[in-house]
Amino acid sequence: MKAAVLTEWQRIELQEVPVPEIGEDECLIEVTYAGVCGSDVHIYKGHHPTAVTPVIPGHEFTGRVAKASTDLYPHLTAGTRVVAEPLISCGECAACLEGHVHVCRRLKLLGIHTDGGFAQYIKVPAAKVIPISDVLSDRAAALAEPFAVAFHVNRQAEVRHGDRVLVVGGGPIGMVVGIVAKQSGAAKVVFTELNEDRLAVIRSFGFEGVNPQTTDVNAYAEQATDGAGFDVVFEVSGSQPGLLSATKLCKIKGTVVLVGFPGRRPELEVMDIIFKELRVVGSRVYTLQDFKKTVRMLEELAVEGRYRLEALVSDTRSLEQLEEAIQTMIRGENTGKILIDYGLAQPE
Ligand SMILES: [Zn+2]
Ligand SMILES: [Zn+2]
């Protein structure tokens, strides 16, 4: 099969490799689409602390079941359209023993520590494979993983009906965080984002988008929240100005969720946290339950048609163009998600 192999940092080679052999608790998936993630860029550059080479990257993928034990997994017959939750937990550490397997001390991911979805086939533990309904297009299904991130982020925030929500950073993850916040009952979702093309997409989804380079965000927030500040602020940019604005624009007793990776020692306005009694929480990946619920939510969104989910995808590339796609993301030129297309998709 064809696979894009990260042979060493900053080098991806298209190789012919054997189709993975599966054990009885595994499922072989023929990939139809795979999303390129910010963390793939991180891995490519060699900046991920635990990533290994050589590896086939890619942890956001959708496809069809090619092979699985139908005695053990009768719902995974050949051809079934599926997505998969890509976490690999050790099952033995303190976090795993307490049932928090998604924050396992030795957490590994398909596509970072073992072979992932930038190949024609991927093998996945069968228990992690989730069938999808036909209401969901292949391209929308490829967004299940980032949506699961957003689903967990919103659960960490405990978003309530009527909340006014600020998303700092409107890249691909920020956009889905905002959509899930709205689905979770938020009355208003405001984005701050520097890239005007991204702001245009954000506004096309019916959200308010503010460019901090051209608009006084403090004044805007004041007016948007009747002077109270936002109930929930999602810091998705990972930038220093973003972090400082997150605590500043959050209301008294509000919640700030840290999602973006800000580098090693960012500055935080601790006095905001103390004086306003802010709840500042982290968010890491998702649970298997989150992932399953996310698929149902995406199916519901697809049926409602309230958001054109495919508009979150700004570019489509072939597997041969993966490295070029990563370079595009390094230059920050992509408006939304870049998908790798394996040329197998259903007609839409
Ligand atoms: Zn991802
Ligand atoms: Zn563990």
Q: Which ligand is nearest to the CA of 172?
A: 1
Distance from the alpha carbon of residue 322 to the mean position of ligand 1, in angstroms: 15
Distance CA 201, CA 199 (A): 5
Per-residue pLDDT tens over the stretch 41-97: 999 999 998 999 999 999 999 999 999 998 999 999 999 999 999 999 999 999 999
pLDDT surpasses 90 at 264: no
Q: Which residues of 302-324 are buried (b: 16+ CB within 10 A; e: fewer)?
A: beeeebebbebbbbebebebbbe
Distance from the alpha carbon of residue 90 to the mean position of ligand 2, in angstroms: 4
Predicted local distance difference test score (pLDDT) of residue 86? 98
E strands, 169-307, are: 188-192, 208-210, 230-235, 250-258, 279-282
Predicted local distance difference test score (pLDDT) of residue 20? 98
Distance from the alpha carbon of residue 50 to the mean position of ligand 2, in angstroms: 15
Predicted local distance difference test score (pLDDT) of residue 310? 87
pLDDT surpasses 80 at 125: yes
- Cα–chain center distance at 202: 17
Q: Which ligand is nearest to the CA of 284?
A: 1
Predicted local distance difference test score (pLDDT) of residue 286? 97
Distance from the alpha carbon of residue 318 to the mean position of ligand 2, in angstroms: 35
Distance from the alpha carbon of residue 290 to the mean position of ligand 2, in angstroms: 18
- What residues have a C-beta under 5 A from ligand 1, the ion? 37
Q: What are phi and psi of 203, to 5 degrees?
A: -70, -30
Q: Which ligand is nearest to the CA of 92?
A: 2
Distance from the alpha carbon of residue 35 to the mean position of ligand 1, in angstroms: 8
Distance from the alpha carbon of residue 181 to the mean position of ligand 1, in angstroms: 19
Q: What is the mean pLDDT of the chain?
A: 96
